[in-house]
Amino acid sequence: MESLKNENEKHSLNIPSFFPLAPFNFPAMVPLWMFPLACVAGNSFVLKPSEKTPGASMMLADLATKAGLPEGVLSIVHGGKQTVDNICRHPTVKAISFVGSNQAGEYIHEEGSRHGKRVQANLGAKNHACLLPDAGREATVNAIVGAAFGAAGQRCMALSTLVAVGETKDWIQDIVEGGKKLKVGCGFDAGVDVGPLISTQSQERVFSIIDKAVKDGAQIPLDGRANGKVDGYPHGNFVHPTVLSNVSTDNIAYREEIFGPVLVCTEPVDTLDDAIQLINANPYGNGVALFTASGAAARKFTHEIHAGQVGINVPIPVPLPMFSFTGNKASIRGDFNFYGPRGVHFYTQLKTVTTNWPIDDSTSLGGVIMPQMGKNT
Amino acid sequence: MESLKNENEKHSLNIPSFFPLAPFNFPAMVPLWMFPLACVAGNSFVLKPSEKTPGASMMLADLATKAGLPEGVLSIVHGGKQTVDNICRHPTVKAISFVGSNQAGEYIHEEGSRHGKRVQANLGAKNHACLLPDAGREATVNAIVGAAFGAAGQRCMALSTLVAVGETKDWIQDIVEGGKKLKVGCGFDAGVDVGPLISTQSQERVFSIIDKAVKDGAQIPLDGRANGKVDGYPHGNFVHPTVLSNVSTDNIAYREEIFGPVLVCTEPVDTLDDAIQLINANPYGNGVALFTASGAAARKFTHEIHAGQVGINVPIPVPLPMFSFTGNKASIRGDFNFYGPRGVHFYTQLKTVTTNWPIDDSTSLGGVIMPQMGKNT
Amino acid sequence: MESLKNENEKHSLNIPSFFPLAPFNFPAMVPLWMFPLACVAGNSFVLKPSEKTPGASMMLADLATKAGLPEGVLSIVHGGKQTVDNICRHPTVKAISFVGSNQAGEYIHEEGSRHGKRVQANLGAKNHACLLPDAGREATVNAIVGAAFGAAGQRCMALSTLVAVGETKDWIQDIVEGGKKLKVGCGFDAGVDVGPLISTQSQERVFSIIDKAVKDGAQIPLDGRANGKVDGYPHGNFVHPTVLSNVSTDNIAYREEIFGPVLVCTEPVDTLDDAIQLINANPYGNGVALFTASGAAARKFTHEIHAGQVGINVPIPVPLPMFSFTGNKASIRGDFNFYGPRGVHFYTQLKTVTTNWPIDDSTSLGGVIMPQMGKNT
Amino acid sequence: MESLKNENEKHSLNIPSFFPLAPFNFPAMVPLWMFPLACVAGNSFVLKPSEKTPGASMMLADLATKAGLPEGVLSIVHGGKQTVDNICRHPTVKAISFVGSNQAGEYIHEEGSRHGKRVQANLGAKNHACLLPDAGREATVNAIVGAAFGAAGQRCMALSTLVAVGETKDWIQDIVEGGKKLKVGCGFDAGVDVGPLISTQSQERVFSIIDKAVKDGAQIPLDGRANGKVDGYPHGNFVHPTVLSNVSTDNIAYREEIFGPVLVCTEPVDTLDDAIQLINANPYGNGVALFTASGAAARKFTHEIHAGQVGINVPIPVPLPMFSFTGNKASIRGDFNFYGPRGVHFYTQLKTVTTNWPIDDSTSLGGVIMPQMGKNT
């Protein structure tokens, strides 16, 4: 087609409707990853919050309305499994964003995809910290205490696993001391560092994992089960900071995402290479952190590790909004990551436009074009 | 964390292994959408060609080897359903590219996703041409004759459906005349315009669809069934150019992808708006073309139409390699499109790296950071 | 250097200080092209407004201070030639932005460059409208009346020159009628369309150009000199809408930027090609507009015309803020255009960083590397 | 203009003609920075090589012709000052690329700009290496020996100045020993590390600078003047590797670009901050290198240093082709850097296109639009 001047353009257009499912632990942040981008891209948005924490979504919707979001653009529904099924099957739903557990997320990805929806699902995690001896000891220990026990370990980016390289195995004792000093209690009370878990079932599950872990050979230099209840909150679902050490990779505490204030220290390793091998063998790939002063170690780790979020001396490396929250391995289903450039891609639909404007339409293209079998060009 | 200077970087890294499945009709082009990008991005690549056209893949692999591709980077396997299942389930396969039928593609997307693979699947199509009266009549008719009957209609971007706006319904007769002039025969013989279908089953299926379409009310101003066999090829799976007109949208000829040299003309419409509405209601969204001289009509159509590839006076708007081949609606599963920027994304894995290099590691970060509950910053 | 793993990064860093010079006609808009970007990029900024319109800058600085801009980041100086020289020579000034006349801008570009400053200077203009017969006549005429006489023609993007193709030469009479209907007066009075010029000198200069133009052969179907003074403003520097037609390209009215409400119509041409040739021969290249319904004509014009801003059915095609205000030919000095991506480039300094982190610094790179004469790699 | 749907597009179009001026020391590389990009962007290109090294350009042109470059696209002229003046003033020349000395480059930038040409000029340099004690000593010393004395120091990226921090002042002796081992001779002879200078004048100028430097207080632990001539080349313009130490910043050896195999070591400093301050005070800003194992030091240096090319453990940080060769301070005139993205910008001309396609041109835009004085929208 030599006589044609073609031009390609790309257009990103909106998906008419879309449906997110938000988790209990970040009931405001996670919806804010989603609906502002989705609505700015021209979609209407229906939000189904966790049935455990429906309040934050209602407040966000109220604020959005006050800020002038047109009626009908953002809606909220509450519900359980039947609601989820309706979302996955309804013909006007074009896309589904989900953050939560593996089981729910894999079901939604499969059911939604089968019904032609675009689905992104952020799932489970097991985030490792790798310690090198040249890191600043005090700063590193403080960072890990905060990242392992903060939010009572109930976040997908909690730094819940520690791989000590060489002499840094001695730093675990510092972490134990740091964990002991944290005050457990009601999150609304002054001076409290570690609040309760979301439910009694969660508390019981965490205790059960610790029990089994110790029974299967893990050491427990800091035992959060043994600590007393919190005064004034006899029914609080508290778990005190816990450190398990010398945990083998087949121990339940290593295999499962605990979602409580429990730091799992693997058997120490001798080299950075060993640590990278151990971490890469884990099925999850959400976040990871290396503590070091060395530019060379940082580059090697960054290049070789398989994880979506990599922190160098940053314990919880959640990307800034101009980047995307990237998952890897079993921590994600769907290709477009949350927020940032990939989030914009998720909430828009790509078109590619090719135009031909012959200068004189009255002069025909001259003969039938049969671009087959290599005989026409 | 006010004392931290953070920097985010994005790294695109390779997927260790990956598996495409190529269709019969473009046995060279479609693998070339895939393995060059995949291999340059650092992946090894296993290609399973259609069992109907395995030869082109073997030639491509031979050329790649001669060009210096290291041994083991590109492999070819042949096989059927069991091979596909193995691909979808094998742990070292990280991603699957597929181009072909809806049934196979949806199965592969579901089965591959369930086993944690990234899957992109280009599926069926029903590409509409929309004619406006201000288009150049002769050039437009020629373009449609070529795009509807070329490659015997056996391409996912065949322009197989026509929506005539206003007086352009009279142009259908010109297309009929154009179709009559095409020479049907063996593709290797000189002067042949339209070759045979891929198999006797395909031929029979196309005849069957035409039969039912006419029975259900479609007119047939050009009947490719009535034409004689091709001399010298008594067993050739030939279908001669066929035009169906006044085809309602519930007619089987409109609902199914025919994959033969059959142009389906819908009932004529009065306005561009009517045409857009008709086209957008079709479940497929692969390609679409508008023929017009008007900049205003082109912009309106481009903005409002739901299709991955939009051509303005371009009958088969396959994007150039710096763009991506974009699908829409039921024509695609998976988020990353083929080749171009989205193809690079498909064959690489995103990492986001956040680094903190405190100038003096001996000065600790000062106290435990507990970024929970709004009490710490 | 085969053993090295290198990585390049680009850093855009700020210029410590910077100095704009703003014109009289957009005393608020033009500084707003500059200082918000410059300050956000980390620079301090000194603004020298036109001595004819210093007030708007003072208001902007006041608003910026109220909005929280730190003290010392935005300063304003007033002055004439000596101030300009100081700006061009002072060692802490790193960059100069200027919008205004050719004479001043060329001097500032030369003097600033000689002293090592980065300089961008938007200079004179002569913006052509090209009319094709397929354009909507009424809409086009209205657009030109507004763009030629609005702001009394005192803007660098005024559509001050008209090239009629074919029968559109008859549309000039419509423009004359449109110009007659405009109300000239004080800009603060209700219903006024065309205000006064900036000074008596400007008024006299415009009258003088019209006089010479007519003397040298131009026709004057609408004579703004002959119109009466404006009641109540005996000393106003008014020029009423004026249309000159059949103006040859060597007439002073075509060669000079008039900066008054005077539309210069060239001798009509027969084809779009003729119009493009005429416009491209003009030394200026600020803006240009084509009026047409044809996608093909729009593409041809867009590709072949030499101008920074191209409008298709847009009389004053000032780019939106995500694009840059681009000049061409004698309408600009300096490479980085104003605002948009190029504006960000102007106010930042590029660094390219290449890093090598050998995994073991104790193992040397092995031998002296002498990358000369082709003997080392 | 509420009824208008506008779209902006950016077009990068070519400059019709263009003229580079290449230096003697990289007679092939520097033209290859230029003409491939320029010609691919659609320009014709006239190359004027240094009158000292005209041969490489002739070979390049010959190769380009053999490769199929159309006749007239690449031309070569030879000449001196008069030729340069013609280039700077000829109306069909649209842009000039220059790499060479400050004096010539500043003249060309000024003269070319005055005649409306786009000019980019890469000028002088004084590249500093900064040594930190945690760097690998042997690797660092080897890197500096190669980068300071390689190509006999005749390159704009030679690492000609050394700033030793703390105890690394003792490493200078290692560099002296390394320099002693280099073999000086004819570049075509086996085993030669350091060739002659380009001319007798250059040799005499370097000797003269060394003489003055020592007279003004510099120490000279390695004296390249004292070394014997090179056997077999009695008239060779050789200068043997020379190290000057304790050179104050007002010494001629620090102030001038020597362009010979002379390493100038400043008075040692105590901290990285001191080193950064010293380097930033230098008027040139071409390249700089830091040697360290510390990620934190690398980040601080990268952020705070003012230089176009920054190397971390890379002695000659010339950017790869996907980046641009960036200058800073007095090392560059003109805004667009050489090669890479900025090189593409230099050889193309930006247009911004705004289009309005009213759906029905017969419905006018309704009334004259007078976008002035805030009364119309």
Look at residue A176 and give its three-state secondary structure.
helix
Contact D146 C329 (CB under 8 A): no
How many of the other CB atoms lie within 10 Å of CB of C250? Answer: 9
Contact call for B353 and A187, based on CB within 8 A: no
| Euclidean distance between CA atoms D299 and B9, whole angstroms | 14
Per-residue pLDDT tens digits for D164-217: 999 999 999 999 999 999 999 998 999 999 999 999 999 999 999 999 999 999
D294·A298 Cβ contact <8 A: no
Chain-chain contact of C356 with D310 (C-beta, under 8 angstroms): no
Of the given ranges (A265-269, C35-39, D243-247), which has the lowest mean pLDDT? C35-39
Q: What is the mean pLDDT of residues D133-159?
A: 95
D183 vs B153: CA distance, rounded Å: 72
Mean pLDDT of all residues in chain B? 88
Cβ separation B351–A326 shorter than 8 A: yes
Q: Give B168's DSSP letter.
A: G
- For C221-239, b/e burial (b = at least 16 CB within 10 A) is bbebeeeeebeeeeebbbb
pLDDT classification of C358: cutoffs 50, 70, 90:
confident
Out of B39, B88, B130, B156, the active site residue is B156
Mean pLDDT of B157-180: 97
Counted residue by residue, chain A has a size of: 377
Q: Which residues contact C238 (CB under 8 A, 6 or more apart)?
A: C184, C185, C194, C196, C197, C203, C229, C230
Q: Give percent helix, percent strand, percent coil of chain A, each to the nearest 5.
A: 35, 20, 45
Which whole-number Å values give the CA distances from D302 to B354, C194, D265, D275, D312, in the listed order?
17, 55, 21, 13, 8
pLDDT tier, A327 (very low <50, low <70, confident <90, very high otherwise)? confident
Tokens encoding C19: 């100095």
Strands C128-131 and C287-291: what pairing? parallel
Interval C236-262 mean pLDDT: 97
Q: What is the mean pLDDT of chain A?
A: 88
Instruction: Please give the residue of chain D at the shortest CA–CA distance from B4.
Output: D296
pLDDT surpassing 60 at residue C223: yes
CB count in 10 Å sphere of residue D102: 17
Q: Identify the burial level of A127 via C-beta atoms within 10 angstroms of its C-beta, where 0-12 means exposed, 13-18 middle and 19 or more buried.
A: buried
Per DSSP, the residues of C15-33 read -SEEEEE--SSSTTHHHHH
A9 closest CA partner among B329, C301, D10: D10
Distance from CA of B271 to the nearest CA of D (A): 13
Å between D100 CA and nearest CA of chain B:
36
Q: What is the pLDDT of residue B375?
A: 36
CA A296 to CA B344: how far, in whole Å? 28
- C172 secondary structure, DSSP code: H
Measured CA to CA, the distance from residue C210 to residue C220 in angstroms comes to: 9
> For residue D8, which residues of chain A lie inside 8 Å, CB to CB?
none
Cβ within 8 Å, pair A298-D295: yes
Q: In what order do the strands lie in the sheet with D219-222?
A: C6-14, C348-356, D309-312, D287-291, D128-131, D161-164, D262-266, D242-247, D219-222
Chain D contact set for B300 (CB, 8 A): 357, 359
D279 backbone dihedrals φ, ψ, rounded to 5°: -65, -40
Least confident of B293-307, D77-91, D202-216, D362-376: D362-376
CB A283 within 8 A of CB B327: no
Interface of B with D in 339-358 (CB under 8 A): 355, 357-358
Chains that touch A (3 or more CB pairs under 8 A): B, C, D
Q: Write down the ipTM of this complex.
A: 0.88
Minimum distance, in Å, between the CA of residue B317 and any CA atom of chain D: 20
Return the higher-pLDDT residue of C59 and D377.
Answer: C59
Asked if A57 and A22 touch (Cβ cutoff 8 Å), the reply is yes
Amino acid at C272: L
Query: How far is residue D43's CA from residue D48's CA, in Å, rounded to a whole number?
Result: 16
Contacts of D294 in chain A (CB under 8 A): 293-295
Say yes or no for a CB contact (<8 Å) between C296 and B293: yes
Report pLDDT for B108: 94
CA distance B7 to C298: 45
Q: What is the C-alpha separation between A48 and A98, in angstroms, rounded?
A: 10
How far apart, in whole angstroms, are the C-alpha atoms of residue A98 and residue A105?
Answer: 7
**CB within 8 Å of C79: residues ≥ 6 apart:** C48, C51
Residue D217 CA, chain-centre distance (Å), reads 30
Q: What is the pLDDT of residues B272-308, one digit of tens each?
A: 999 999 999 999 999 999 999 999 999 999 999 999 9
3-class state of residue B206 by DSSP: helix
| CA A204 from centre of chain | 24
Q: Which two tokens stand for residue C146?
A: 């507004």
CA A115-A116-A122 angle, to 5 degrees, is 90
**Given an 8 Å threshold on Cβ–Cβ distance, is A136 in contact with B364?**
yes
Using the predicted structure, report yes or no on whether residue B2 has a pLDDT greater than 50: no
What is the predicted pLDDT for the residue at C363? 29
| Residue A17 confidence (pLDDT) | 59
Q: In terms of pLDDT, which residue wins out, B140 or B373?
A: B140
Decide if B298 and C295 are in contact by the 8 Å CB cutoff: yes
Q: Which pLDDT score, from 0 to 100, does residue B1 have?
A: 26
Residue B152 DSSP class: G
CB D331 within 8 A of CB D99: no
Span C183-219, pLDDT tens digits: 999 989 999 999 999 999 999 999 999 999 999 999 9
Of C7, C296, C358, which has the smallest distance from its Cβ to A357's Cβ? Answer: C296
> Taking CB atoms and an 8 Å cutoff, what residues of chain D touch A295?
292-295, 298, 312
pLDDT in tens, A79-116: 888 999 999 999 889 999 999 888 999 999 999 999 98
- pLDDT at residue D237 is higher than 70: yes
Contacts of D180 (CB under 8 A, 6+ apart): D222, D241
Q: Which of C39, C156, C186, C265 is catalytic?
A: C156
Q: Tell me: the pLDDT tens digits for C72-84?
A: 899 999 888 899 9
DSSP helix/strand/coil, C272: helix
CA distance D83 to D77: 8
If pLDDT is split at 50, 70 and 90, which confidence band does D361 have? very low
pLDDT in tens, B338-356: 999 999 999 998 899 999 9
Which of B125, B154, B118 minimizes the C-alpha distance to B343? B118
Can you give the pLDDT at residue A373? 36
Question: Are the beta carbons of D355 and C298 separated by less than 8 Å?
Answer: yes
- Flag whether pLDDT at D367 surpasses 60: no
The closest of A186, C61, A264, A74 to B375, measured between CA atoms, is A186
Q: With a CB-CB cutoff of 8 Å, which residues 50-109 of chain B face chain A?
A: 106, 109
Contact partners, residue A54, CB within 8 Å, separation at least 6 = A27, A78
Plot region of A68 (φ>0 → left; ψ -120 to 50 → alpha; else → beta): left
| D contact residues 150-209, partner C, Cβ 8 Å cutoff | 150-151, 178, 181-182, 187, 192-193, 195
Residue B252 has pLDDT above 80, yes or no: yes
- pLDDT, one tens digit per residue, over C280-334 is 999 999 999 999 999 999 999 999 999 999 999 999 999 988 899 988 898 999 9
Res B22 pLDDT > 90: no
**Predicted structure pTM score:** 0.90
D156 noted as active-site residue: yes
How many C-beta atoms lie closer than 10 Å to residue A363's C-beta? Answer: 12
Quick check: B313 and A138 CB within 8 A? no
Cβ separation of A299 and C357 shorter than 8 Å?
Answer: yes
Q: Which amino acid is at D81?
A: K
Active-site residue identified among D39, D88, D130, D156: D156
Q: Which residues of C touch D346 (CB under 8 A)?
A: 335
Q: Please, what is the angle between helix A102-114 and helix B102-114, to 10°?
A: 180
Touching D (3+ Cβ pairs <8 A), the chains are: A, B, C
Whole-number average pLDDT of chain C: 88
Query: What's the pLDDT band for B365 if we cut at 50, 70, 90?
Result: very low
Looking at residue C375, its pLDDT comes to 36
Residue window 261-320, chain A: list those with CB within 8 Å of chain D.
Answer: 292-296, 298, 312
Interface test with C, best of D370, D373, D375, D376 (most C CBs within 10 A): D370
Report pLDDT digits (tens) over D337-357: 999 999 999 999 889 999 999
pLDDT at C48 over 80: yes
Q: Tell me the shortest Cα–Cα distance from C311 to chain D, in angstroms.
A: 5
E strand map for chain D: 6-14, 19-21, 45-47, 74-76, 95-99, 118-122, 128-131, 161-164, 219-222, 242-247, 262-266, 287-291, 309-312, 332-333, 348-356
User: Are B132 and C295 spatial neighbours (Cβ–Cβ below 8 Å)?
Assistant: no
Instruction: Provide the 10 A C-beta neighbour count for residue D312.
Output: 25
- CA dist., res. D187 & res. A19, Å (int): 70
Top-ranked range on mean pLDDT: pick from A37-51, B72-86, B141-155, C353-367: B141-155
What residue has token string 């559509």? C159
Residue D73 three-state SS: coil
Whether B140 contacts B291, CB under 8 Å:
yes
Q: Could you tell me if residue C68 is left (phi over 0), alpha (psi between -120 and 50 degrees) or otherwise beta?
A: left
Total residues belonging to chain C: 377
Of the candidates D307, D243, D237, D299, the residue with the CA atom closest to the CA atom of residue D278: D307
Report residue A286 as tokens.
Answer: 């959400």
* pLDDT at res. B17: 58
* CA atoms within 13 Å, Cβ hemisphere of B183: 10
What's the Cα-to-Cα distance from A350 to each of A343, A344, D309, rounded to whole Å?
13, 11, 38
Nearest to C109 among D113, D345, D349 (CB): D113
- Partners of C168 on chain D (C-beta within 8 Å) are none
Q: In this structure, are strands A6-14 and A348-356 parallel, antiparallel, or unpaired?
A: antiparallel
3-state secondary structure (DSSP) of residue B261: coil
Q: How far is C12 from chain A (nearest CA, A)?
A: 16
Per-residue model confidence as pLDDT tens digits over C95-139: 999 998 889 999 999 999 999 899 999 999 999 999 999 999 999
Query: Which residues in chain C have Cβ-Cβ distances shorter than 8 Å to A359?
Result: 296, 300
Widest distance between CA atoms in chain A: 91
Closest Cβ opposite residue A296 in set D9, D293, D296: D293
Two tokens, residue A106: 């894999």
pLDDT at res. A18: 61
**Nearest residue in A to C4, CA atom:** A296
What tens digit of pLDDT does each residue of C156-175 get? 999 999 999 999 999 999 99
- Are D293 and A298 within 8 A, CB to CB? no
